[in-house]
Amino acid sequence: MDLAFLGETLLRLASAIPTTLELAFVSVSIGLALALLLALLRASSVIGAACVRAYVFVFRGSPLLVQIFLIYYGLGQFDAVRESFLWPFLRRPWWCAILALALNTAAYGSEIIRGGLAAVPAGSIEAGRVAGMSRFTLYRRIVLPLALRQALPAYGSEIIIMVKSTSLASIITITELTGTARQIVSDSFRAIEVFVCAGLIYLAINFVLTRAVLLLERTLTPHARGVPR
């Protein structure tokens, strides 16, 4: 084993961790906001529900890689896009990756939140209504807190999937973790060591994330833990 090479590789890969984390964090944040809107839209009206179902079908039913390609190579084909205020963003690979990742996770996220909304007890909603809560207060204080707590474990898995999905951004020239690994491989021709190192780093990130989500679950849902009476 060439420890010097491994050390050097890990160091170079580590310098790409911020890019990977940034991609994941920004796309999950935008995706969560979008997922919330989609889930609420889905619950709001028949037309809203149909639109959201179509959206989810498209983004869940097609490969993320294809979505990234379409956004990166496809959007520039339209004059309207090139002339719009969004073009300074959309011509950059980074924002194309963010857009694809966010739209994709929003589809999955909206389904997770929908499940959470469906699990809110009717009696809790009724208790809020009968106390005189407006619709807005009811959602802010009762429905969403209960739904999001319910959705948290599944959303944790989705975040981990997103961390792994950021590796696809390497295809459109972004040198995040996987992209950097590929560069090192093309310089050194030592694929196994390099990708094992990259894999270990993903594992480490996701180990920390899993713990963090568990901790969040524990603090947000003390009522769900078995405490003796």
Partner 1 sequence: MTDVVTLRDLHKSFGPLKVLDGISLTARAGETIAIIGASGSGKSTMLRCIPLLEVPERGDITIGDETIRMNTARGGRAPADSAQVNRLRGQLGFVFQSFNLWAHMTVLENVIEAPVHVHKRPRNEVVDEAMALLEKVGLAEKCEAYPAHLSGGQQQRAAIARALAMRPKALLFDEPTSALDPELVGEVLGVIKGLAEEGRTMLIVTHEMGFAAEVASRAIFLHAGRIEEEGSPRQIFAEPTSDRTRQFIRRYLERA
| Binding positions for partner 1, rule: CB under 8 A | 121, 123-124, 126-134, 137, 141-142, 145-146, 149, 220-224, 227-229
CB of 131 to partner 1, least distance (A): 4
Alpha-carbon gap, residue 90 to 92, rounded angstroms: 5
| E runs forming strands in 64-192 | none
Contacts of 144 (CB under 8 A, 6+ apart): 36
Contacts of 67 (CB under 8 A, 6+ apart): 59, 100, 103, 104
Q: What angle do CA 84, 59, 67 make, to 5 degrees?
A: 55
Alpha-carbon gap, residue 128 to 131, rounded angstroms: 5
CB of 44 to partner 1, least distance (A): 16
Q: Which is nearer to partner 1, 7 or 121 (CB)?
A: 121
Q: Which is nearer to partner 1, 114 or 149 (CB)?
A: 149
Instruction: Give backbone dihedrals phi and psi of 161, rounded to 5 degrees, phi first.
Output: -60, -40
Q: Which is nearer to partner 1, 77 or 219 (CB)?
A: 219
Q: Which is nearer to partner 1, 75 or 143 (CB)?
A: 143
CB of 184 to partner 1, least distance (A): 47
Q: In the numeric block, which tokens belong to residue 169?
A: 């951004």
H or E segment to which residue 24 belongs: helix 17-44
CB of 120 to partner 1, least distance (A): 10
Alpha-carbon gap, residue 28 to 108, rounded angstroms: 11
CB of 140 to partner 1, least distance (A): 8
Nearest alpha-carbon partner for 76 in 88, 60, 58: 88
Which residue type, as a one-letter code, is found at position 144? L
CB of 218 to partner 1, least distance (A): 13
